[in-house]
Amino acid sequence: MSQATDELAMSRIGIALIDGICARARQIWRETPHTDVGLDGTIEFKDGERATGVFLGVQVKTGVSYLSEDGETFTLKGDQEHFAYWASCSIPVIGVVVDPVREIAMWVDMTALCSIDRIAGGPYTASIARSPESAFTVEAVAERLKQLASSYSNQRFTQFQFEALRRHLAKEETAGAIKTDGIQGTEPPQRLAWNMLCADFCSPRLTPEEAASIGQRLAWYFPTVPDSLKEQVQHMLAGLDDGQLARAIVAARAALDVDRDDVAELVAELIAKIPRARERMLSLLERGVFPRDDRDAAIQIIEGWDDGPRDDLRKSYLP
């Protein structure tokens, strides 16, 4: 005989609260039919009456067991698999903890929390202080969460990367302190993450948006990482062929297309580290390799390096 458990009833209270808030915010809530996959549903945001295709994944936890004794701290609990899954989602994910007694909810950006370090070693909980900024309300859904979803243009990590991380952790457990040629046989998660970024930049299997995100992170952290990691990036960039250079320029253009000039500038900083980058880019322009939008992006990159307009290039290559 099927059972209507208290746990099931509690989860329905949380889902109903999310559904109602999204409806009043005039946004689209879609509940996941099978909740064992790690998300309870998604919010699709609208622009007026038009569905935008911008999504936000939602994991919901409901019950007083997720609250501190004073009711001021809401805690979302998971495990390593949950955090790895949320980070690998191609849409951003938030966690929402619902107090079924007061019928209020608090949210937290799980995509931001799911760093490679946290996935490797925890903690696998997220504490949310009750505040107007973290309250899951009609205003939050219609404004702040809509902006949050739009700010993530691609997935942070791929399943391929997390499989590599799992293999690394398994090796670490079995290898212990084994050394090879005087070098520790295992790598810290930070180095593994850096290796993944270097391997993926300009990979043909990634979208331009994904390549832009990777280029942004490599350029942002480059000044502060150890010399060995800087050398790794420089070695990777030195080995890029013209096709990969072209993909890097397309990645910058993808960032410009969504008004992320900050991302495009960081990708341009990375491209500048490619040996003979300017000469090779001019050669690509001369050979007519790019469509018009990509030619424009290439010229904008050169203008950024020159700190001024290049009307000569625009006249020659942007008729």
Question: pLDDT of 27-58, one tens digit each?
Answer: 999 998 765 567 999 999 988 888 888 899 99
Average pLDDT over residues 109-119: 84
**Are residues 101 and 147 located together in one domain of the fold?**
yes
* Per-residue CA distances from 217 to 154, 200, 227, 235, 265 (Å): 13, 12, 17, 17, 12
Residues comprising the chain, all counted = 319
**Are residues 123 and 196 located together in one domain of the fold?**
no
Decide if 163 is inside a domain: no
* Per-residue CA distances from 251 to 42, 207, 303 (Å): 27, 8, 17
| Enclosing domain of residue 254 | 176-317
Decide if 1 is inside a domain: no
**According to the model, what pLDDT value does residue 183 have?**
31
Are the beta carbons of 76 and 128 closer than 8 angstroms?
A: yes
Decide if 301 is inside a domain: yes
Residue type for position 27: Q
Decide if 309 is inside a domain: yes
What are φ and ψ of residue 7, in 5° steps? Answer: -65, -40
Give 147-206 pLDDT, tens digit per residue: 888 777 544 555 555 555 555 555 555 554 433 333 333 445 566 677 778 888 877 777
* CA gap 127, 32 in Å, rounded: 24
* CATH number for the domain harbouring residue 74: 3.40.1350.10
Cβ burial of 270 (10 Å; 0-12, 13-18, 19+) is buried
**Are residues 39 and 113 located together in one domain of the fold?**
yes
| C-alpha atoms less than 13 angstroms from C-alpha of 28 in its C-beta half-sphere | 14
- Closest Cα partner for 75 from 149, 130, 9? 130
**Are residues 13 and 90 located together in one domain of the fold?**
yes
Are the beta carbons of 215 and 266 closer than 8 angstroms?
A: yes
pLDDT over threshold 50, residue 113: yes
Give 210-267 pLDDT, tens digit per residue: 888 888 888 888 888 888 888 889 999 999 988 889 999 999 998 898 888 888 899 9
**Are residues 112 and 41 located together in one domain of the fold?**
yes
**According to the model, what pLDDT value does residue 182 have?**
31
Average pLDDT over residues 49-71: 91
| C-alpha atoms less than 13 angstroms from C-alpha of 20 in its C-beta half-sphere | 9
Higher-pLDDT residue of 162 and 145 is 145
* CA gap 44, 221 in Å, rounded: 32
**Are residues 138 and 182 located together in one domain of the fold?**
no
Neighbours of 26 (CB within 10 A): 13
Are the beta carbons of 118 and 189 closer than 8 angstroms?
A: no
**According to the model, what pLDDT value does residue 167 have?**
57
Decide if 12 is inside a domain: yes
**Are residues 237 and 120 located together in one domain of the fold?**
no
**Are residues 35 and 68 located together in one domain of the fold?**
yes
pLDDT over threshold 70, residue 135: yes
How many domains is the chain partitioned into structurally? Answer: 2
Decide if 266 is inside a domain: yes
Neighbours of 209 (CB within 10 A): 19
Helical residues (DSSP H) of 201-317, grouped into ranges: 208-221, 227-238, 242-257, 261-272, 277-286, 292-306, 311-317
Are the beta carbons of 273 and 236 closer than 8 angstroms?
A: no
**According to the model, what pLDDT value does residue 228 have?**
83
Decide if 131 is inside a domain: yes
* CA gap 83, 124 in Å, rounded: 7
User: Which residues partner with 183 through β-bridges?
Assistant: 180
**Are residues 135 and 10 located together in one domain of the fold?**
yes
Residue at a domain's end among 111, 135, 151? 151
**Are residues 147 and 197 located together in one domain of the fold?**
no
- Closest Cα partner for 198 from 168, 254, 159, 237? 237
Confidence of residue 73 (pLDDT cuts 50, 70, 90): very high
**Are residues 116 and 183 located together in one domain of the fold?**
no
Decide if 17 is inside a domain: yes
**Are residues 198 and 106 located together in one domain of the fold?**
no
DSSP 95: E
